[in-house]
Amino acid sequence: MISSITATTGGQPVFRRDLDPNALRLTRRKTINLLRNCKNIAQVPPIHAKIIRTFHGQDAFVVFELIRICSTLDSVDCAYDVFRYVPNPNVYLYTAMIDGFVSSNRSADGVSLYRRMIRDSVSPDNYVITSVLKACDLEECREVHGQVLKLGFGSSRSVVLKLMEVYGKCGDLVDAKKVFDEMPERDEVAATVMINCYSDCGCVKEALELFNDVKVKDTVCWTAMIDGLVRNKEMNKALELFREMQMENVSVNEFTAVCVLSACSDLGALELGRWVHSFVESQRIKLSNFVGNALVNMYSRCGAIYEAKLVFKGMRDKDVVSYNTMISGLAMHGESFEAIKGFREMVNRGFSPNEVTLVALLNACSHGGLLDIGIEVFRSMERVFHVEPQIEHYGCIVDLLGRVGRLEEAYRFVENMPIEPDHIMLGALLSACKIHGNMELGEKVAKRLIESEDSDSGTYVLLSNIYASSGKWKESSEVRGSMRDSGIDKEPGCSTIELDNQIHEFLVGDTTHPEKEAIYQRLQELNRVLKFEDVMFVYQ
Which is more confident, 433 or 21? 433
Predicted confidence at residue 12, as pLDDT, reads 41
Query: Does residue 240 belong to any structural domain of this protein?
Result: yes
Model confidence pLDDT, tens digit, residues 359-394: 999 999 999 999 999 999 999 999 999 999 999 999
Model confidence pLDDT, tens digit, residues 84-129: 888 889 999 999 999 999 999 999 999 999 999 999 999 999 999 9
Task: Classify each residue of 381-420 as buried b or exposed e, where b means 16 or more C-beta atoms within 10 Å of its C-beta.
Answer: beeebebebeebbbbbbbbbbbbbebbeebbebbeebeee
Mean pLDDT confidence for 395-418:
92
Inter-residue contact 145 to 154 (CB < 8 Å): no
- With cut-offs at 50, 70 and 90, classify the pLDDT of residue 68: very high
Give a three-class secondary structure readout of 249-299.
Answer: CCCCCHHHHHHHHHHHHHHCCHHHHHHHHHHHHHCCCCCCHHHHHHHHHHH
Predicted confidence at residue 279, as pLDDT, reads 86
Query: Does residue 396 belong to any structural domain of this protein?
Result: no
Residue 349 has pLDDT above 50, yes or no: yes
Predicted confidence at residue 60, as pLDDT, reads 81
Predicted confidence at residue 485, as pLDDT, reads 54
Predicted confidence at residue 189, as pLDDT, reads 92
- Which residue, among 123, 94, 124, has the nearest Cα to 110 in the 3D structure? 94
Predicted confidence at residue 172, as pLDDT, reads 94
Residue 537 has pLDDT above 80, yes or no: no
Mean pLDDT of the chain: 84
Predicted confidence at residue 482, as pLDDT, reads 61
Which is more confident, 17 or 431? 431
- With cut-offs at 50, 70 and 90, classify the pLDDT of residue 499: low
Query: Does residue 83 belong to any structural domain of this protein?
Result: no
Predicted confidence at residue 527, as pLDDT, reads 78
Predicted confidence at residue 11, as pLDDT, reads 40
Phi, psi of 408 (to 5 degrees): -65, -40
- Which residue, among 303, 281, 304, has the nearest Cα to 292 in the 3D structure? 281
CA distances from 140 to 111, 183, 504, 532 (A): 8, 21, 47, 75
Residue 245 has pLDDT above 90, yes or no: yes
| CB neighbourhood size of 498 (10 A) | 17
CA 484 to mean position of chain CA atoms: 37
Residue type, 96: A
CA quadruple 130, 133, 139, 144: dihedral positive or negative? negative
**Strongest mean pLDDT among 74-83, 424-433, 457-466:** 74-83
Predicted confidence at residue 235, as pLDDT, reads 92
Query: Does residue 370 belong to any structural domain of this protein?
Result: no
Predicted confidence at residue 427, as pLDDT, reads 82
Q: Report the alpha-carbon distance of residue 281 to residue 279 in Å, rounded.
A: 5
Predicted confidence at residue 17, as pLDDT, reads 47
Task: Classify each residue of 102-119 as buried b or exposed e, where b means 16 or more C-beta atoms within 10 Å of its C-beta.
Answer: bbbebbebbbebbeebee
Q: Report the alpha-carbon distance of residue 206 to residue 319 in Å, rounded.
A: 37
Query: Does residue 207 belong to any structural domain of this protein?
Result: yes
Model confidence pLDDT, tens digit, residues 254-288: 999 999 999 999 988 899 899 999 988 888 877 88
Give a three-class secondary structure readout of 112-148.
Answer: HHHHHHHHCCCCCCHHHHHHHHCCCCHHHHHHHHHHH
Predicted confidence at residue 332, as pLDDT, reads 93
What is the span of the domain harbouring residue 239? 186-250
Predicted confidence at residue 14, as pLDDT, reads 41
- Which residue, among 354, 432, 430, has the nearest Cα to 393 in the 3D structure? 354
CA distances from 330 to 344, 375, 397 (A): 14, 19, 18
Query: Does residue 76 belong to any structural domain of this protein?
Result: no
Residue 449 has pLDDT above 50, yes or no: yes
Inter-residue contact 452 to 414 (CB < 8 Å): no
Query: Does residue 82 belong to any structural domain of this protein?
Result: no
Query: Does residue 35 belong to any structural domain of this protein?
Result: no
Q: What count of residues does the chain have?
A: 540
Residue 453, SS3? coil
- With cut-offs at 50, 70 and 90, classify the pLDDT of residue 493: low
- With cut-offs at 50, 70 and 90, classify the pLDDT of residue 424: confident
| CA-based end-to-end distance of the chain | 96
Task: Give me the torsion for CA of 123, 125, 128, 134, rounded to 10°.
Answer: 120
Q: Report the alpha-carbon distance of residue 503 to residue 496 in Å, rounded.
A: 7
Overall domain count for the chain: 1
Predicted confidence at residue 16, as pLDDT, reads 46
Mean pLDDT confidence for 466-492:
61
Residue type, 473: W
Mean pLDDT confidence for 39-64:
81
CA distances from 117 to 89, 173, 374 (A): 9, 29, 55
Residue type, 237: K
Predicted confidence at residue 5, as pLDDT, reads 37
Predicted confidence at residue 194, as pLDDT, reads 95
What's the DSSP call for residue 493?
A: P
Mean pLDDT confidence for 22-40:
79
- With cut-offs at 50, 70 and 90, classify the pLDDT of residue 492: low
Mean pLDDT confidence for 198-211:
94
Residue 212 has pLDDT above 90, yes or no: yes
Inter-residue contact 51 to 57 (CB < 8 Å): yes
Burial of 465 (0-12, 13-18, 19+ CB in 10 A): middle
CA angle centred on 158, ends 154 and 162, rounded to 5°: 90
